Chain A
């Protein structure tokens, strides 16, 4: 075989697909709409923060951006996960997955390229958000310093499992509609479990009704089983860190990255199992 006709290796194929995916996303109005939406959320939040000083003269807090950062990270995670949920299912629905596979392109390369492109978009959006905080100063002139703006630097790791979950759903679904419905249902369910569990656990036991106490014990039991593999639990790590007024621990970051890697492996396996046909 002539050297110039030799097919590229796995990394080469992944890079080619990644460039295609990334450029397609860059030219999509989605990216810019989401970027503007994130900045608008920050602007509205800043308005609320400043409104506080109409009635109060002093406020004590470790980081006024903490809640906003969590909202932005969760918002971007869910939106970008939704886009990933429609990615492989979309290829399958439009029969382009079949073309890729006979290329031949390994399933692993497809999964990795789509995920890497979305992670880069995520990083880009976070960059836009940081830049907006520094330039627009939505909390008041001079309130946000460089350290404050970069305070959310560790947070995106907690969002990666949600993105990978989108890809896992997409690897299994036969159509975009099915993928979107399943993804949203799973995310809503996971978030609901985490929110209810967090609320019940944060209340003193003597203020719980018997039914609430049973639900709390049930959810805590469930958490020991599904907690380590739940993308929702990784987002809860952010909220727990906020409640403890402490930065996200390295253990939480490591567990989020491990869950992401495991989900990507599972997505590759499921995509191969499911095949190319819708």
Chain B
């Protein structure tokens, strides 16, 4: 009997154990060969590198400014931890040749063969102003850039050698002076050459996408036939007039964590007699649905939500601060942050001394302690300047007891009214009983 039960139990457990999945030893996503778009897109200020996976059938670009795309056959995989699709360009990156055909409402807008491009950054990659150069211009500019870099490296090495020789000469002269030799006149070496921020990227194959605002379709054609997997919709969004001046409010007690004040509606609430610092930044203001698909095609954007992208510190040096009707100039100045001595936390902010490097280049705003001063404004005046105005609200203490009393007033008023009415009714009833 027991043996039969055990046999039955085995029969029951065997399929259950077989159905149990084996534990995963490693998470290696499955890769598949697809065609993706590798892109250098203009984001309104600079070029950003991104890609459009095969799972997205729409690409968004900024209208009125060229972006560059390349169709690439590569390995694509889904990474569950970030819930995004990635590509392995290192293992496979086969550029697909052909002719890019862009259409709008069925009509052909442009047709171009695969070219070679470089991006020229005259002031460095982080300072914007990138320009696309094509074919011979790209090759020539890159060759010239390489030559300039090589020349700079040679000059720098030579200058470093001259500096080393100068230091050796100084040491020798010092030793000779100790032995009683007369002072020697040693000519200083030439200064080290200043590196250039100019950058020209290496020439790469690509197609130019420079479109007017609107919706398009594009595909790669080879031998008169469309290359499968290259059809995409293209949305060109107009991002003109998005320049804005935004502020960062640096509290005196937390200078490493500024508070963003992007729009003029973002008011600054401050404690009386406090001090804060204001820095201005050049920025672009976008709606998420326009900007995010350009730079992060896989990101979810929220309709209607605004987005400010900070670009670089603003060059504005003068503001006007007004508490009531008394405007006063506010000048940007370099500031130094000194840590307090000893083991305790704390620091002080002061004006920089000669030769010191500034930690903060900001406008200093002192909030008045006068109870009469409740609101102030910081404005930027000047022709051609971007509009800038921020309201400062001084948060004075409230009358807590009065607030509590007023909050209870409706209920207290009703109770008083009810008691009065009850009293009148009782008196009326008493009078009628007496009259009876």
Contact = CB atoms under 8 A, between A and B. Distances in A.
B353 interface: no
Given A32-B414, A136-B403, A244-B304, A60 B259 contact: yes
Determine chain B's interface SS by DSSP, over half rule.
Answer: mixed
Contacts of B412: 36
Given A136-B402, A140-B396, A64 B407 contact: no
Interface residues of B, number: 54
B129 interface: no
A142 B269 CA distance: 12
A124 to B, nearest CB: 10
Contacts, number: 147
Contacts of B252: 57
Contacts of A58: 249, 251, 259, 268-271, 274, 276
Contacts of A137: 398-399, 403
B304 A35 contact: no
Contacts of A104: none
B371 interface: yes
B409 interface: yes
Interface in B55-111: 80-84
Contact of A47 (B300, B304, B400): B400
A245 B82 CA distance: 28
A141 B127 CA distance: 45
A50 to B, nearest CB: 6
Contacts of B268: 58-60
A91 B363 CA distance: 67
Contact of A60 (B269, B274, B275): B269
A206 B300 CA distance: 12
A43 B410 CA distance: 14
Nearest to B371: A141
Nearest to A55: B253
A141 B403 CA distance: 11
Contact of A32 (B81, B259, B411): B411
B397 A206 contact: no
Contact of A61 (B81, B266, B305): B266
A69 to B, nearest CB: 15
Contacts of B82: 205-206
Interface in A162-205: 205
Nearest to A246: B304
Given A139-B395, A142-B374, A244-B305, 8 more contacts: A58-B270, A59-B270, A60-B249, A128-B410, A132-B406, A136-B403, A141-B398, A206-B81
23 contacts: A31-B414, A32-B414, A35-B410, A36-B408, A43-B407, A46-B398, A57-B252, A58-B270, A58-B274, A60-B259, A60-B267, A61-B267, A61-B269, A62-B263, A62-B265, A136-B407, A140-B397, A140-B398, A141-B398, A142-B396, A143-B396, A213-B83, A245-B263
